[in-house]
Amino acid sequence: MSLSLLASSTTISSPVTSGNPLRQRANTRPAVHLSNRAPYTSCEQNKQNKDDTHVVDRRNVLLGLGGLYGATATATIGGNTTAIGAPLSPPDLSKCHLATDDATNQQVKCCPPYTTAKFKDFEPPSHRDPLRVRKPAHKLRADEIARFEEAIAKMKALPADDPWSYMQQATIHCTYCNGAFDQKGTETLLQIHGSWFFLPWHRYYLYFWERILGKLIGDPTFAIPYWNWDTPEGMYMPKIYLNPQSPLYDDTRDKNHYSSVLDYNYAYGDPNPAGPQIEETITSNLCRLDRIFKESHHQPSLFMGKPLRAGEVVPANASGSCENLHNTMHQWVGPPTSPYYNMGNFYTAARDTIFFGHHANIDRLWDVYSKFRGQRPEFRDRDWLDSTFIFYDENREVVQVKVRDSLTPEHLRYTYSPEKLPWTNIRRQCRKLKKAAKKRSAGDSMKLIPVSEFGSQPRALTETIRALVARPKTSRSKDEKEEAVEVLVIEGITVPPGTPARFDIYVTQPIEGLVGPDNGELAGSYVKIPHGHHKSSASAGHSHGNSNLELGISTLLEDIEGEGSDKLVVTLVPRNGDVTVAGIHIDLFDVDEED
Question: Is 29 inside a domain boundary?
Answer: no
Catalytic position from the list 33, 148, 181, 193 = 193
CATH code assigned at 191: 1.10.1280.10
Taking the C-alpha atoms of residue 320 and residue 191, their distance in angstroms, rounded to an integer, is 15
In a shared domain, residues 464 and 416: no
The arithmetic mean of pLDDT across residues 328-355, rounded, is 93
Catalytic residue among 298, 330, 531, 534: 330
pLDDT value of residue 63? 27
- Tell me the residue range of the domain where 544 lies: 443-590
What one-character DSSP code corresponds to residue 313? P
pTM: 0.85
CB 500 within 8 A of CB 303: no
Structural domain contains residue 183: yes
Instruction: Give the active site residue among 33, 173, 534, 542.
Output: 173
Asked if 503 and 547 sit in the same domain, the reply is: yes
**pLDDT per position as a tens digit, 70-93:** 333 443 323 333 345 699 999 999
State whether 172 and 304 are in the same domain. yes
Q: Spell out the long-range contacts of 43-49 with Cβ–Cβ below 8 A and sequence spacing 24 or more.
A: 43/315, 43/316, 43/317, 43/548, 45/80, 45/81, 45/82, 45/83, 48/80, 49/78, 49/80, 49/82
Domain identity same for 193 and 290: yes
- What CATH number has the domain bearing residue 450? 2.60.120
Q: Which residues are annotated as a binding site for Cu cation?
A: 173, 193, 202, 326, 330, 359
Over 90: is that where the pLDDT of 251 sits? yes
Digit-coded pLDDT (tens) for 129-157? 999 999 999 999 999 999 999 999 999 99
Q: Which residues are annotated as a binding site?
A: 173, 193, 202, 326, 330, 359
Instruction: Spot the catalytic one: 297, 298, 359, 544.
Output: 359
Does one domain contain both 397 and 287? Answer: yes
Inter-helix orientation angle 321-333/198-216, to 10°: 50
- Kindly state whether residue 511 falls inside one of the protein's structural domains: yes
The one-character DSSP state at 253 is S
With 0-12 / 13-18 / 19 or more C-beta atoms within 10 angstroms meaning exposed / middle / buried, residue 445 is exposed
Q: Is 429 a domain residue?
A: no
Instruction: Note whether 455 and 343 are same-domain residues.
Output: no
Dihedrals phi, psi of 391, to nearest 5 degrees:
-140, 155
Q: Is 97 part of the annotated catalytic residue set? A: no
Known catalytic membership, residue 297: no
Q: What is the pLDDT of residues 94-129, one digit of tens each?
A: 999 999 887 788 899 999 998 877 889 999 999 999
Residue 47 has a pLDDT of: 34
Please identify, among 391, 424, 457, the residue that sits at the C-terminal boundary of a domain.
424
Q: Supply φ then ψ for residue 19, to 5 degrees.
A: 175, 150
Are 416 and 484 within one domain? no
Average pLDDT score over residue span 280-294: 96
Q: Would residue 542 show up in a list of annotated catalytic residues for this protein? A: no
Q: Look up 359 and say whether it is catalytic.
A: yes
Q: Is 127 a catalytic residue?
A: no
Residue 567's DSSP bridge partners are: 470
Q: How far apart are alpha carbons 193 and 26 in whole angstroms?
A: 27
Catalytic residue among 33, 202, 358, 544: 202
pLDDT band at 317 (very low <50, low <70, confident <90, very high): low
- Residue 72 belongs to a domain: no
**CA 571 to CA 522: how far, in whole Å?**
9
Collapsing DSSP to helix, strand or coil, 12 comes out as coil
User: Residues 233, 179: one domain?
Assistant: yes
What is the per-residue burial (b if ≥16 Cβ within 10 Å, else e) of 481-517? bebbbbbbbbbbbbbeebbbbbbbbbbbbbeeeebbe
Each residue's pLDDT tens digit, 385-408: 999 999 999 999 999 999 999 999
Q: Is 346 a catalytic residue?
A: yes
C-alpha to C-alpha distance for 189 and 196, rounded to whole angstroms: 16
Beta strands in 452-553 (DSSP E): 459-460, 465-470, 484-494, 501-508, 514-515, 521-528, 546-552
Starting at the earlier edge strand, list the strands of the sheet with 120-121. Answer: 120-121, 398-402, 388-392
Decide if pLDDT at 524 tops 70: yes
Q: Which one is catalytic: 33, 297, 298, 326?
A: 326
